[in-house]
Amino acid sequence: MDYINAFWVGGLICALVQILMEKTKMMPGRIMVLLVCLGAVMNFFGIFEPLAEYAGAGATVPLIGFGNVLMKGVKEAIDEQGFLGLFAGGFKAGAVGTSAALIFGYLASLLFAPKMKK
């Protein structure tokens, strides 16, 4: 049942984002920022954790999950470091995922011949 919940919640998130892309004139970059901010706001109001427990990777893998990770890191760093944690927490919490994306993206560009769109 965990797989089914992850599938339909993740699919619903992706479908809503696709509708947003098709029906508005928002650029993909702005939609990505919107999703990260939505994940942070959901964490702030305590909505994201119950959703993540229910849907698992269906909620944590899309970009709203990255916003949640950043907000969680900021909260922890503020508890440990005070005001300075506001600036360091997100970087510390998101470093592994960002580094992995950069490294695997670079490796993929070495294995495959990337081409510019015309």
Give pTM, 2 decimals. Answer: 0.78
Lowest mean pLDDT among 47-51, 84-88, 111-115: 111-115
Please state, for a pLDDT cut of 70, what percent of the chain lies above it.
100
Residues contacting residue 60 through CB under 8 Å, at least 6 positions apart: 52, 68
Q: Mean of the pLDDT values across residues 96-106? A: 91
Amino acid at 70: L
